[in-house]
Amino acid sequence: MKNIYYVGSGELTFEVIEQIIDNNLKLDLAPEAKERILKCRDYLDQKIQSSDQPLYGITTGFGSLCNINVSSDELSTLQENLVKSHACSVGEEIRPVIVKLMMLLKAHALSLGHSGVQLITVQRILDFFNNDVMPIVYDRGSLGASGDLAPLANLFLPLIGVGDVYYKGKKCEAISVLDEFGWAPVKLKSKEGLALLNGTQFMSANGVYALLKAFKLSKKADLIAALSLEAFDGRIDPFMDCIQQIRPHKGQIETGEYFRKLLEGSEIISQPKKHLQDPYSFRCIPQVHGATKDAIRHAASVLLTEINSVTDNPTIFPDEDLIISGGNFHGQPLALVYDYLAIALAELGNISERRVAQLIMGLRGLPEFLVANPGLNSGFMIPQYTAASIVSQNKMYCYAASSDSIVSSNGQEDHVSMGANAAVKLYRIIDNLEHILAIELMNAAQGIDFRRPLKSSPLLEEFLYAYRKEVPFVKDDIVMYKEIHKTVAFLSRTKLK
């Protein structure tokens, strides 16, 4: 891949996207993508000249205005007006990484050659990406059908020299940045405004970001839970392979296998146990964590299809001589799996907080609140409060956005997905989950220190050694929020093998 990724050279994958973002790769159009774009644009120009039939959004108005024809000398103005009037996203500014993902995903979709855009339009998107010119987009305003109209309009206003961007760390007018680079504002031709604004790239970009985080957090949740199991002097029996094989959900089997690997060679797990069973938050880890893995896998498969699809409208098929007004911009596939994923990720936090509660109860030889002198010290009493509060908030975010629909465009767009709302709350759930897992790690590490001189497995001891270099054992009460912040930062930096 080197330092350049060629958009349109093949399907996007999560691995490719992660390399592009993490390694700050530059984008260029693959030769075959240029050919597809030019072919589609040439076909559309010829079709407009030869056809006496109205073409939705190309020679007509939009939405409920689809029956109003527009003269040929106003087609460019029609598209420019569309971008300006639809730039209605509001709320909080979305993170630069989401902006970059939106540009990447839109460029890829346009490169498939069914959208009728000019080559310069796609090239300018890549120019913005490559030079870190970040259009300012807000997180509210999309119904998730006709795609992500409002946020995508904000994203692409700067192409025509309107709107604001961040460049070199400063907020400035887009036209000034265009002038600095010597870029003329793109003169949109017929259909181009629709091609830019119709589509699911806001939903998809948020989902890609969420899943890249979810892949990692799922694994970290396993490791932290294994530490908690050790701190609680838990049993290995529920993780044995035979019990997973007679209920062979893939995620459950994977979880059991990973725990056996994590705990191999542990003195704590192998010592004789006085108790016959562990609470569900320990005993049912394969089933709960495993179900989340399966949910992540399903969401990833749906999103992978989506980001390699054409989701604007109308859709152009030069070889078939067809221009079809359809509904590929409807975000229902994403809305449903995002709601599912939200529940699955929230459950990782839910069961994590229950393990924290078990660790501070003064059970199995551990001191109450995991501090040597409880009473004088509150120890780990209040971090559990914090975790419980965050878990409760995540339950609010698990409301199914996809179950709602509000009619728009004067009845023409009478069922929408609300997939953008489902996507936005995923980030909040993931941020909360990181903090819950950090609190569990603090408690688990503290509990294991009370098991000394017994050691856990080499894998877990290596992890604990790195953690203890940044967050020490708590002997007497200290300011806890700083330790939570340090633990979140440690987890964010740590890459598991």
Residue 77: φ, ψ to 5°: -60, -40
How long a stretch of residues is the chain?
497
Whether residue 430 contacts residue 220, with contact meaning beta carbons closer than 8 Å, is answered with: no
User: Which one-letter amino acid corresponds to residue 351?
Assistant: I
Taking each helix axis as running N to C, give the angle between helix 149-156 and helix 201-231, from 0 to 180 degrees, rounded to the nearest 10. 110
Instruction: Say how far apart CA 480 and CA 46 lie, in whole Å.
Output: 68
Show the CA angle centred on residue 411, arms to residues 410 and 416, nearest 5°: 110
For 260, 268, 455, 466, the CA distances from 458, given in Å and listed in that order, are 13, 12, 8, 12
For 163, 267, 328, 411, 486, the CA distances from 270, given in Å and listed in that order, are 63, 5, 55, 66, 32
Instruction: Say how far apart CA 208 and CA 212 lie, in whole Å.
Output: 6
Is 338 considered catalytic here? Answer: no
The residue from 5, 6, 43, 56 that is catalytic is 56
Show the CA angle centred on residue 402, arms to residues 297 and 89, nearest 5°: 105
Whether residue 91 contacts residue 140, with contact meaning beta carbons closer than 8 Å, is answered with: yes
Taking each helix axis as running N to C, give the angle between helix 332-359 and helix 381-397, from 0 to 180 degrees, rounded to the nearest 10. 160
Instruction: Say how far apart CA 226 and CA 221 lie, in whole Å.
Output: 9
CA neighbor of 312 nearest in space, from 296, 294, 325, 295:
325
Active centre residues (catalytic): 56
